[in-house]
Amino acid sequence: MQLGQPSRTALATAYARAYHQIASEPRIFTDPLAVRIAGATPEQLADLETATVPDDITTDMRRRRRLFLAARARFAEDTIADTVATGTRQVVILGAGLDTFAYRNPHPNVRVFEVDHPDTQAWKRQRLESAGIELPASLTFAPVDFESQTLAAGLAAAEFDRSQPAVFIWLGVVMYLTRDTILDTLRFVADQATPMRLVFDYLYPTSAATPEEMGQRTARADRVAAMGEPWLSFFTADEIANILREAGFDHVDDHDAPHLIAEYLGIEPRQVATVAPHVLCATRTA
Ligand SMILES: C[S@@+](CC[C@H](N)C(=O)[O-])C[C@H]1O[C@@H](n2cnc3c(N)ncnc32)[C@H](O)[C@@H]1O
């Protein structure tokens, strides 16, 4: 993140989610507020969405990236719904960016805590106001810089209840943080009263990319670095599973991007092979 500036990658993913609502592609994730919070007309969105992705990424690769962003959001909101159905009443969106779940929250008596870097959160609040999106009484903001402040203090100030179950969503953030910050955050989250769940996505080390993936991967890495938000942390599935177990989670449900997208679309994973981020749901029940 650039000092004093909101996250530019948050805007890029918001454009992709918004464009997914109007593009002629199978809809994985429905978000009726995505276009409004993106602050662009449907006509402008096609240009904006492609402008935030490197020129040398083909239309098909852009589409796959969008489908992954939609799939991870769907996975997160399906997890929230499952968790709420079993009695959880607290949802924490970490690094929320322009996520709109809190403003569409369909679950009565469920509180939502939006945690984000103070600069991004202040900018989001202005955008919500400009878009005429009301702040529901169930929402509490918690400004936290994960690198220099503790999530514990930020959530305590927001009157989050550590003694009650919760579901945490952390999409598109881990790769921008240092490893120590990620490990501290995982330990804090794992200490929540049970049952608790955590959904997040992560990137494989570049060395694991196939030659076909390498071009797209390098272009995207260069692009986010130029936005002042370089990728800092990478994991393999085995490595992150071990880290999660050591932190106290007892179950990990990990999906790579092609399988997750293909499952939602009812197609073969090879039809959406893409540079493979993974998304997982880690659970602690006892
Ligand atoms: C790519 S955006 C993802 C936003 C949103 N979760 C989404 O899926 O659209 C990255 C998010 O991580 C947040 N972030 C990055 N570094 C952070 C830090 N040190 N502390 C708090 N938030 C941070 C940014 O403010 C931004 O909201």
Number of neighbours of residue 263 by Cβ within 10 angstroms: 14
Instruction: Supply the pLDDT for residue 195.
Output: 95
User: How far is residue 12's CA from residue 247's CA, in Å, rounded to a whole number?
Assistant: 32
Longest C-alpha distance within the chain, in Å? 50
Instruction: Supply the pLDDT for residue 55.
Output: 53
Whether 95 is in the pocket of ligand 1, judged by its Cβ within 6 Å, is yes
| Cα 229 to averaged position of ligand 1 atoms, centre (Å) | 10
Instruction: Supply the pLDDT for residue 169.
Output: 98
Query: What is the position in ligand 1's atom list of the atom closest to the CA of 146?
Result: 20
User: How far is residue 90's CA from residue 192's CA, in Å, rounded to a whole number?
Assistant: 11
Pairing of strands 196-203, 277-284: antiparallel
User: How far is residue 279's CA from residue 226's CA, in Å, rounded to a whole number?
Assistant: 25
Domain boundaries, the chain: 8-284
The neighbouring-strand residues paired with 283 are 197, 251
Both tokens of 199, joined, read: 């959904």
Both tokens of 25, joined, read: 């592609």
Note the pLDDT tens digit of each residue in 178-218.
999 999 999 999 999 999 999 999 999 888 777 777 877 88
**Closest Cα partner for 31 from 56, 51, 14?**
14
Substitution candidate for ligand 1 out of 53, 91, 120 with most atoms within 8 A of CB: 120
Residue 113 phi, psi (nearest 5): -115, 120
Contact in structure between 8 and 229 (CB atoms under 8 Å): yes
The CATH number fitting domain 8-284, selected from 3.40.309.10, 1.10.10.10, 1.10.30.50, 3.40.50.150: 3.40.50.150
User: Which residues in the chain land under pLDDT 70?
Assistant: 50-58, 274-275
User: How far is residue 199's CA from residue 189's CA, in Å, rounded to a whole number?
Assistant: 11
Q: What is the 3-state secondary structure (H, E, C) of 106-134?
A: CCCCCEEEEEECHHHHHHHHHHHHHHCCC
Whether 7 is in the pocket of ligand 1, judged by its Cβ within 6 Å, is yes
